[in-house]
Amino acid sequence: MTVTTPQTGAQTGAQSDAAFLADFADRWLAAWNSHDTERVLELLSDDIRWDDRTFWPEVIEGKEGVRAYTEKIWEAMPDVQFAEIERFFAPDARRGIVLFRQTGSGPAKLNPERTFDAHGCDIFLEFHGDQLGSYLSAYDIVPMLQQLGGLPPREGKLGGAYLMSLARGARGSGA
């Protein structure tokens, strides 16, 4: 429900920001599911700060960097789809989190016959006007890679011990 002020008919700040965040989350998921890089970039400010260091080696500054990132996503996961599970908004701060489920086939270079089903979060940290100015991604790539056959089973290893065992294995194999 939208609240309007009697004198102007305008939406109040928190309500208009909540409506904006809800609309943005809808457009965000639609853009990603379209696999159209331009639709994704339209949602971003020119000076976007994009932090997905699970997939990308560094924080990206600017739309052109996000363009390269997005094209690599489509290349690695050409049929990836995102479904919203839940959204959490802080309208007064114009921030939000969208918890999602992502599904798709394995990359051609890894195992295209297998599929993945994993969860993550898109975190909208800051907006510049109606465009996203700061983004943080949060998801665990380990289960995805395990489902695709790219990582060995955990074999009961806890936390970082599993990742360290992978690093030791890579060093031991000459990689």
What does the domain layout of the chain look like in residue ranges? 13-139
Report d(CA 48, CA 64) in Å as an integer. Answer: 10
Taking the model in full, what pTM does it have? 0.83
Report d(CA 17, CA 19) in Å as an integer. Answer: 5
What is the per-residue pLDDT across 23-52, written as a single tens digit (0 to 9) for each? 999 999 999 999 999 999 999 999 999 999
Report d(CA 69, CA 153) in Å as an integer. Answer: 29
What is the per-residue pLDDT across 143-168, written as a single tens digit (0 to 9) for each? 888 899 888 888 888 888 888 888 88
CATH topology of domain 13-139: Nuclear Transport Factor 2; Chain: A, (3.10.450)
